[in-house]
Structure 1
Amino acid sequence: MGPHPAVADVRRAVREALAALTPDVPARDEPAREKPAPGVPASGVPASGGPAPEGPVLVACSGGADSLALAAALGFVAPRAGLKAGLLTVDHQLQPGSAERAEQVAALAAPLGLDMAEVLTVEVGTEGGPEAAAREARYRALAEAADRLGARAVLLGHTRDDQAETVLLGLARGSGPRSISGMAARSGRYLRPFLDIPRATTVAACRALGLTPWDDPHNEDPRFTRVRVRARILPLLEAELGPGVAEALARTAALAREDADALDEWADRAYQDCALSDIGGSVTLSVPALEALPGAVRRRVLRRAAVAAGSPPGSLSATHVRAVDRLVTHWRGQKPVDLPGGRAAVRRYGTLIVAISPIP
């Protein structure tokens, strides 16, 4: 008799995610194999294309249903793929008893079949608001731990519901297709195996495995924007528009990401054609070459030029980029356009210069 359907779903998702790291992850549940000797992949066949993969695969686990189901699935799949796996849990120190809770989560690693666990204690600042500050502290701690442990990947427990919430928040910001493309299944070292799995499945998987998730009080606090989207907006949309809204929003994210990725690749090539120079924080672009580009591509090129010149990407808004774009499309002898980071853009003699302000 096979595993509960929800358990099978989360294991399959993790197995497919790990297959992107190594072809030796089995396609279905198989008996555990002995871990291979150094230099030999899980298949038992010596590698021919280079050294065998090294370093553990880590899972970020808060103790909630999503990350707990992810940790359990990794603990099942990893040894069958000849991979070492570990658990990281972050203590944000924002609630009484958080240290004890983090230790309890870390103690789950061995029973779940994971090789190691660490508690990462962080100091959460205030910049950008509590949600953004906590996220920044968490990702910084995960990245430092991954570097220190030589991790091949860090698995994150975001589900299809989280993706739908992200799309709605992006729509509210109104900052273009990249904003509604949501979270990527793979972003650098981070893997999100559950983006096609609803939250209800992770809850059911935990129940079937006899695991008791921890319900973070912050996930019910309406002071946080994402909580209001989760608790009020999405249920309202489901009630008024019918079921399947979260799935449709997640599908929209996937389609928008494909389009945005394609435009970004086009813009990368176009930048090489437009850039006359890119040296020492000063970028010079050919205006005729920019004029020949579609607006969506041209504005991506202009954003890249501003960042290359030293303008902080987090502060560079669509409004800034459109102001620079008008130097190309609606030239009337305008003054330089000020950009974040003490940079500016100016048009001169058929070129667009982005450099430290004031531009000589």
Structure 2
Amino acid sequence: MSGPPPAVAALRSAVRPGLRGSSLSVLVACSGGADSVALAAALAFEARDAGVRVGGVTVDHGLQPGSDRRAGETAELLGALGLDPVLVLPVDVAGAGGPEAAARTARYAALAGAAREHGARIALGHTLDDQAETVLLGLGRGSGPRSVAGMRADREDDGVQWWRPLLGVRRATTRQACADQGLTVWDDPWNTDPAYTRARLRAEALPLLEDVLGGGVAPALARTADLLREDLDALDGLAAAELARLAAEAGDGSLPARPLEPLPAALRRRVLRGWLLAAEVPDLQAVHLHAVEALVTGWRGQGRIDLPGGAGVLRTSGTLVLRPPDLRRADPGPAALEEPLP
């Protein structure tokens, strides 16, 4: 007896290890597009043998005419695949960053809420092509190595587990898998609208790179992300251990400055970033981190470094001290902060 078509088999093979590796139930985030529909079908099939409950969720952003109807049709498709429960989540899209960013924020908040309510992890249909686009976006924006490292297959954020089992699968394979199984998909016009940067990367930049470099660009970008992520994870682990050691040495929430100075810059900044994030400093940017680092590597009697949210860092007696917003007026001046200048 012959097996399933190659594209269908590839999707099922991609989800099988992760599905069987956890007993936690799954909610598939499905937009109705080929990637998420193919993912939902593969999970529905594999769930029978894995003994894991798989449901589906579709988010209605309300940004396009008939979005509620399409969300209902997607829910019907998920139900026909055998997923249970099937949820339709309407959201209000508002906020800074443009409609694309606002829609993403609203969508992920709704998915996180569903995950907590149902005790499930969220499966997302991002493919190898999405990973390549993410790497290019990170490179173009110069937003640091972590953005170039792309998306993780498994990530936990604020108690919610996000699972991307298709990061090794091409977008063409998901579309073929849907065709092979007779599954109707919806092509979001936003995905081809040149007003959006990612759409232009998809339609113009990546095909041009493939032509100029002779093919294989998307897999190469995805491999680069994987390799870089390994290096960054190693650095993050070293920084976490160093922060724990220094914090234990201080014992009062401050951070000794002198032991930080001889550290490699990449490690030192990670220690400082971890210290500030642990203190719940919001919206920490590179400019703030470099200013705090200057208290270690470029100490010249500077005063307080102001941070987002109203907190501030100062150096006193060889130690970095974080002052909460309500203590701003109590900060001493530069002359009281440190040992004599060299």
Under a length normalisation based on structure 1, what TM-score does the superposition of the two structures give?
Answer: 0.86
Aligned letter for 2:108?
Y
2:336 aligned residue: none
SS in 2 for 1:110: helix
Q: Number of matched residues? A: 322
Alignment of 1:191-270 (within 5 A): 191-270=163-242
Once the two structures are TM-superposed, the CA of residue 212 in structure 1 deviates from its matched residue by 1.9
The alignment status of 1:148 with 2:117, answered yes or no, reads yes
The verdict on how the C-alpha distance between 1:278 and 1:112 changes in structure 2, with shifts beyond 3 A counting, is farther
Distance 2:321 2:141 in 1: 29
Alignment check: 8 A CA contact 1:175 1:318 kept? no
Aligned letter for 1:166?
T
Alignment check: 8 A CA contact 1:309 1:343 kept? no
2:96 aligned residue: 127
1:7 aligned residue: 8
- Segment of structure 1 superposing worse, 110-119 or 58-67: 110-119
- Segment of structure 1 superposing worse, 69-78 or 104-113: 104-113
**Structure 2 segments unaligned to the other structure (5+ residues):** 332-342
- Segment of structure 1 superposing worse, 77-86 or 62-71: 77-86
Alignment of 1:21-170 (within 5 A): 21=22, 53=23, 56-151=25-120, 153-170=121-138
1:25 aligned residue: none
SS in 1 for 2:200: helix
Once the two structures are TM-superposed, the CA of residue 217 in structure 1 deviates from its matched residue by 0.9
Distance 1:197 1:301 in 2: 36
* TM superposition outliers: structure 1 runs of 4+ over 4 Å: 276-279
The verdict on how the C-alpha distance between 1:2 and 1:93 changes in structure 2, with shifts beyond 3 A counting, is same
Distance 1:216 1:73 in 2: 21
**Structure 1 segments unaligned to the other structure (5+ residues):** 22-52
1:176 aligned residue: 144
CA-to-aligned-CA distance 1:237-294 (integer Å, 9 cap, x gap): 1122221111111111111111111111111111112225576xxx411112212322
The alignment status of 1:285 with 2:255, answered yes or no, reads yes
Aligned letter for 1:11?
R
Distance 1:337 1:168 in 2: 33
Aligned letter for 2:221?
L
CA-to-aligned-CA distance 1:204-242 (integer Å, 9 cap, x gap): 111111112100011111221211211121112112222
CA-to-aligned-CA distance 1:159-213 (integer Å, 9 cap, x gap): 0000011111111221322111111000121110100111011011111111121
Once the two structures are TM-superposed, the CA of residue 343 in structure 1 deviates from its matched residue by 1.7
Structure that is richer in helix per residue? 2
- Segment of structure 1 superposing worse, 326-335 or 133-142: 326-335
Q: CA RMSD in A?
A: 1.5
1:273 aligned residue: 245
Distance 2:279 2:83 in 1: 45
SS in 1 for 2:228: helix
SS in 1 for 2:7: helix
Aligned identity (percent) is 57
Alignment check: 8 A CA contact 2:128 2:167 kept? yes
Aligned letter for 2:194?
P
2:300 aligned residue: 332
Under a length normalisation based on structure 2, what TM-score does the superposition of the two structures give?
Answer: 0.90
